[in-house]
Structure 1
Amino acid sequence: MSYLSSLVVSGLVVGTMYGLVAMGFAIIFKVSRVVNFAQGEVMMLIAYISFSVALRTNGSMPLVVLSVMASSVLLGILIERLVVRPMLGQPIFSLVMMTIALAVLLRSVIGLVWGTDPMRMPGGSAGSSIDVLGTNIQPAQIALVGIYLSACAGIWAFLRYSVLGIAMRATATDPTVALLMGLSVSKLYRVAWILSAILAGLTGLLFANIYHVGLDMGHVGIQAFPAVILGGLDSVLGAALGGLVIGVAENLAGGYIGSGYKEIAGFAIILLVMMVRPHGLFGEKDIERV
């Protein structure tokens, strides 16, 4: 039982990381119907920026967090202005391909600027771990869980009660009607990309503190993608919950079947779910009149 509980607890911790990245996917898709395949690379770039700031400030966490927030907002604005806005009115597939090109570009820039060797985050192992059901949890992992819960509550309240959140939901329902009602769709797209970048940045910072800073960080975006499909591409909280399911499923598959099955467990789950609910567990059905 202790082995099972250890796998579940560690899977839930990893699942919170998947959930945060998946929420970033879902926010952008909910507003613009675009899947951002550069989400993992955005996370990686902000993590490298935080690494550089940590090196120059002796690991000062307040300054590192401030740099993460500032670079996330700036990167979200730049992507929306330079990549998304010129593509408005074009087929969605074209914009999706642009996000793939953006992912390749960011990965190349990171390799040129910081190199390809993985590096440890200054002060990343600071603090003593605590025992949870026989599993040692690091302070950064505790912070990861706390940020995950805070993000779920904050985004739910933002989308449900704030003026911007309600406008984003209206735009997701019908962008044309939203334009006719006087809403600035480009502004709402920008807010969505900023929120997505902030979630990616915080995840990247915590990943760097728990593990390392390296070019393999971008794979977190691919590993989190089954979570957003499982929960529903247009359901932000569903994507967050899907991250927990995928994290636990990967750990159980790796622990009881074999480490080689860990990477494919999430994709196996979404294949099964999509045969029953193609729109995901919490996604909304698209009904079109023909």
Structure 2
Amino acid sequence: MSLSDIWLFIQQAFLSGIVTGSVYALLAVSIVIVFRTTDVPNYSQGDIFMFGGYVALFALLVWNASYWTAAVLTIIVSAVAAALFQRVVMERVARTRGIAQLVIATVGFSYLLKGVVRKTGLGDTPRSLPSLVPQDPITIGQAWLTQLDLVIFATALTVMLLLWALFAKTRAGRAMRAVGMNSRGAQIVGIRLSTIRMQVWGITGAISAVAALLITPKILMTPDLGHIAILAFAAAIVGGISSFPGAVVGGFIIGIVENMVGLFISSNAIVLAPFIVIMIVLLVRPQGLFGGKVGVKKV
């Protein structure tokens, strides 16, 4: 392989990596904000993402809705489903004060969403959502992306900027940050934890729906599509499981490393790439790239 070929592969891996990494970053941010406000890793995140894709597919194929109507409906349904799960199930389970029970509840929600999708019959055959924009290639440097890739990246970046504005500039966002920093203190000053946590879960449902709408025109959808959450968890761990910027950076790192491994080594080795990155980061910096100092809680 010549130097020019290596340089071409690096460019292509970087460009493709930031596109897929932007979707991983959205899902990683969802994982982080739930973890920060509840101290619970959300193992249903991937299937909320999968469910959003199938809501859009159902609206398009069964109801013959327009694409934009289906997109809005997908975001609303996913947000409401996640918020209701938090209020009806997680809030009650939280009274047991057991993290293990909460984690099991998220796993149960994951299987519930898979069951709902399989009941519709749409999951019997792999499908993809239609693309609103042409898939014509656009050359950037020596590499290329499609118009859809550029829309995915731009939309994901816009959503992340809107989330930053929500948490930094709005009263509701500051309340969410307060709960993430010290839930007991936030409760003392009048913030209702149940309301904030329900809002956070609703936001994660909406983010997952957006991620599904962005990436499912490029990949085949099945009821097992939720495995993509493994990559989102990898991104969150690499960036620091409690860091919003870390989740974003971690998503891009995982996306770029995946594409580098696929181009330079083998497509079969792609599945190993995220775990190798996790091990390297945990060995060098156990709290993640943007995580704070490692602390030990006294019990």
Structure-2-length-normalised TM-score: 0.90
Deviates more, 1:10-19 or 1:106-115: 106-115
Q: 1:223 is matched by which residue type in structure 2? A: L
CA contact (8 A) 1:9 1:133 kept: no
User: Aligned partners of 2:44, 2:123: CA distance in 1, in Å?
Assistant: 19
| Alignment deviations for residues 116-164 of structure 1 (CA, whole Å, 9 cap, x no partner) | 3201324567453422334443333222211221122222222122111
Specify the alignment match of 1:227 in structure 2.
235
Query: Identity of aligned pairs, percent?
Result: 28
What SS is found at the alignment partner of 1:211? coil
Do residues 16 (structure 1) and 25 (structure 2) align?
no
| Alignment deviations for residues 229-260 of structure 1 (CA, whole Å, 9 cap, x no partner) | 00111111210110000011111112212222
Do residues 61 (structure 1) and 48 (structure 2) align?
no
Specify the alignment match of 2:79 in structure 1.
73
Tell me by how many angstroms 1:104 deviates.
Answer: 1.9
User: Aligned partners of 2:146, 2:264: CA distance in 1, in Å?
Assistant: 24
Specify the alignment match of 1:155 in structure 2.
163
Tell me by how many angstroms 1:26 deviates.
Answer: 0.6
Do residues 263 (structure 1) and 271 (structure 2) align?
yes
**Aligned pairs, number:** 290
Do residues 132 (structure 1) and 140 (structure 2) align?
yes
TM-align CA RMSD: 1.9
Deviates more, 1:56-65 or 1:79-88: 56-65
Do residues 177 (structure 1) and 185 (structure 2) align?
yes
CA contact (8 A) 1:124 1:210 kept: no
Tell me by how many angstroms 1:198 deviates.
Answer: 1.0
CA contact (8 A) 2:83 2:205 kept: no
Tell me by how many angstroms 1:196 deviates.
Answer: 0.8
User: Aligned partners of 2:249, 2:114: CA distance in 1, in Å?
Assistant: 28
CA contact (8 A) 1:229 1:280 kept: yes
Unaligned runs of 5+ in 2: 1-6
Specify the alignment match of 2:105 in structure 1.
98
User: Aligned partners of 1:47, 1:175: CA distance in 2, in Å?
Assistant: 33
Q: 1:234 is matched by which residue type in structure 2? A: S
Of residues 5, 8, 15, the one that matches 1:2 is: 8
Of residues 111, 118, 122, the one that matches 1:111 is: 118
Do residues 165 (structure 1) and 173 (structure 2) align?
yes
CA contact (8 A) 1:138 1:210 kept: no
User: Aligned partners of 1:165, 1:124: CA distance in 2, in Å?
Assistant: 32
What SS is found at the alignment partner of 2:216? helix
Tell me by how many angstroms 1:206 deviates.
Answer: 1.5
| Alignment deviations for residues 4-43 of structure 1 (CA, whole Å, 9 cap, x no partner) | 2112211111111111111110110111111101111001
Q: 1:49 is matched by which residue type in structure 2? A: V
User: Aligned partners of 2:273, 2:83: CA distance in 1, in Å?
Assistant: 35
Of residues 52, 57, 64, the one that matches 1:46 is: 52
Of residues 195, 198, 201, the one that matches 1:193 is: 201
What SS is found at the alignment partner of 2:280? helix
Unaligned runs of 5+ in 1: none
Q: Aligned pair in 2 of structure 1 residues 139, 71: CA closer, same or farther (>3 Å)? A: farther
CA contact (8 A) 2:82 2:204 kept: yes
Specify the alignment match of 1:35 in structure 2.
41
CA contact (8 A) 1:85 1:186 kept: yes
User: Aligned partners of 2:58, 2:290: CA distance in 1, in Å?
Assistant: 39
Specify the alignment match of 2:4 in structure 1.
none
Tell me by how many angstroms 1:213 deviates.
Answer: 2.4
User: Aligned partners of 1:242, 1:205: CA distance in 2, in Å?
Assistant: 21
Q: 2:228 is matched by which residue type in structure 1? A: V
